[in-house]
Amino acid sequence: MFKGLRPIQYGGREVWPLIEGGKGVAVSNHMSSGAWAAAGGIGTVSAVNADSYDPEGKIIPQIYRTLTRRERHEELVQYAIDGAVEQVRRAFDISDGRGAININVLWEMGGAQRVLHGVLERTRGLVTGVTCGAGMPYRLSEIAASYNVNYLPIISSARAFRALWKRAYSKAAEWLAAVVYEDPWRAGGHNGLSNAEDPLQPQDPYPRVKALRETMREGGISDDVPIVMAGGVWYLREWNDWIDNPELGSIAFQFGTRPLLTRESPIPDAWKQHLTELDEGDILLHRFSPTGFYSSAVRNDFLRNLEHRSERQIAFSLEAAGDHQYKLDVGVKGKSYWVTRNDLLRAREWDMLGFTSALKTPDNTLVFVTPEEMKTIRKDQADCMGCLSQCSFSSWADMEGNSTGRLADPRSFCIQKTLQDIAHGGPIDQNLMFAGHAAYRFKQDPFYSNGFVPSVKQLVDRILTGD
């Protein structure tokens, strides 16, 4: 057993302080989370548009039958509740009473509160806690406490926790089971970088977690309430100084990327295979997500395409003014757009290369795409089923009027479509492949040599050795 690592009390049981991070869409499901719990840790079922099954056990494709976004949003919420309930029940069976099962939601997903209520209502006694990040989940504590379930907020700074604690969590303090510190420069999936933080200057997690502990102490929270370190955790021996350290209090560890490569991980084999081929620097922290958050994913053709699209971008005015003295004569029909001379020349070049359609962005710029890309963008925007509370790509908003009031942004993409596709066997180079920045370590770690893919139990046992 690795030095100093001891089981913690969670949900009235002893469990290893090792958590499988929740991963949507359909990436941490009953198989992975049930197995993680069975190995003695805390498994997390993703309640973000989870899969349901038909009577033969086949995944039910989430097909939308209604005509408006509002109606499709309702269908989506129903799919999400049914899927998560099914996943929790199966995970609980697999866990066989060992470890614990949590669920994960994103606060900024469409209908998040309704999904939480719907799932917790139908899984009483099965779920030990809810992890939730992506936004400021003020009402998380109240909802979890109303079902006698723990909550574990995911934050990326002490400041965010202080605001949540003061405004809401202090009123349901007994159900706060842990605080997850997710390193915004290193973790896979969406990242909580604030505007004040430089995406190119990763900060050491230690002082940030120490500050979080100090903030928790100011709120009167016991040092026995663990801080869960998430993001870039690989070998526990590299976190030696964190364990049994009075400055930090109780510490647990969350793994998101490592459990992707296990036998129980439901992602397609091509995705697993690709993980073993990555090099350092192949993961990109970027800002294309329609949520507006930063996120980390493999820099594949899908992401490169978005990078290039944003590079084929020029500012315009609707009348000749300042530097914008040249009328654009490619990409647009009818309307007059005035641009700089240099941008006119660039636009003509893109046009010659086949990027013959210019699309307006909410920032008074135009991006140049091929006619096929334009068709896909328009179709994806029209097919929107309202999976987010606010979406920059389609302008959908989960409120009166169902619009953000801003122009739909062609520099982004439909995250629901792409995450569903990659999880269910779509091409791995043409979809968003979330991964943490330590994913390159699969290639170097001798545990995975000769193509070895461990079971979840083998992975947890390996982690417990310090490796």
Ligand X SMILES: Cc1cc2nc3c(=O)[nH]c(=O)nc-3n(C[C@H](O)[C@H](O)[C@H](O)COP(=O)(O)O)c2cc1C
Nearer to ligand SF4, 339 or 415 (CB): 415
The residue number with the shortest CB distance to ligand X is 256
* Torsion angle defined by CA atoms of residues 213, 214, 220 and 226, in that order, rounded to the nearest 10 degrees: 10
Query: What SS3 class is residue 100?
Result: strand
Per-residue string for binding with ligand SF4, 246-285, x by CB under 6 A? ----------------------------------------
Question: Is residue 396 at the binding interface for ligand SF4, with CB under 6 A as the rule?
Answer: yes
Cα 244 vs. chain centroid, distance in angstroms? 30
Residue 414's binding partner out of ligand SF4, ligand X, none, with CB under 5 to 8 Å set by partner kind: ligand SF4
Nearer to ligand X, 44 or 357 (CB): 44
Backbone dihedral angles phi then psi of residue 321, each to the nearest 5 degrees:
-160, 145
Residue 189's binding partner out of ligand SF4, ligand X, none, with CB under 5 to 8 Å set by partner kind: ligand X
**Binding span for ligand SF4 by CB under 6 A among 19-27, 32-40, 90-98, 379-387:** 379-387
Question: Is residue 384 at the binding interface for ligand SF4, with CB under 6 A as the rule?
Answer: yes
Q: Of 426, 190, 422, 155, whose CA–CA distance to 289 is shortest?
A: 190
Nearer to ligand X, 35 or 438 (CB): 438
Tokens of 241: 């100084």
* Footprint of ligand X on 189-248 (CB under 6 A): 189, 230-233
Residue with structure tokens 């030696």? 240
Cα 236 vs. chain centroid, distance in angstroms? 23
**Binding span for ligand X by CB under 6 A among 185-193, 241-249, 275-283, 367-375:** 185-193
Task: Please state the closest distance from residue 103 (CB atom) to ligand X, in A.
Answer: 10
Backbone dihedral angles phi then psi of residue 339, each to the nearest 5 degrees:
-135, 175
The span from the CA of 242 to the CA of 229, in Å, is: 10
Do 152 and 130 form a contact (C-beta atoms < 8 A)? yes
**Binding span for ligand SF4 by CB under 6 A among 243-251, 255-263, 357-365, 410-418:** 410-418
Cα 242 vs. chain centroid, distance in angstroms? 25
Residue 290's binding partner out of ligand X, ligand SF4, none, with CB under 5 to 8 Å set by partner kind: ligand SF4
Packing angle, helices 112-122 and 69-95, rounded to 10? 40
Do 207 and 182 form a contact (C-beta atoms < 8 A)? no
Question: Is residue 143 at the binding interface for ligand X, with CB under 6 A as the rule?
Answer: no
Task: Please state the closest distance from residue 439 (CB atom) to ligand X, in A.
Answer: 7
Per-residue string for binding with ligand X, 94-123, x by CB under 6 A? ----------x-x-----------------
Question: Is residue 394 at the binding interface for ligand SF4, with CB under 6 A as the rule?
Answer: yes
**Inter-CA distances, 282 with 285, 418, 436, 437, Å:** 10, 19, 10, 8
Residues comprising the chain, all counted: 467
| Contact set with ligand SF4 (CB under 6 A) | 290, 384-388, 391, 393-394, 396, 414-416
| Contact set with ligand X (CB under 6 A) | 21-24, 27, 46, 48, 104, 106, 133, 154, 182, 186-189, 230-233, 254-257, 434-436, 438
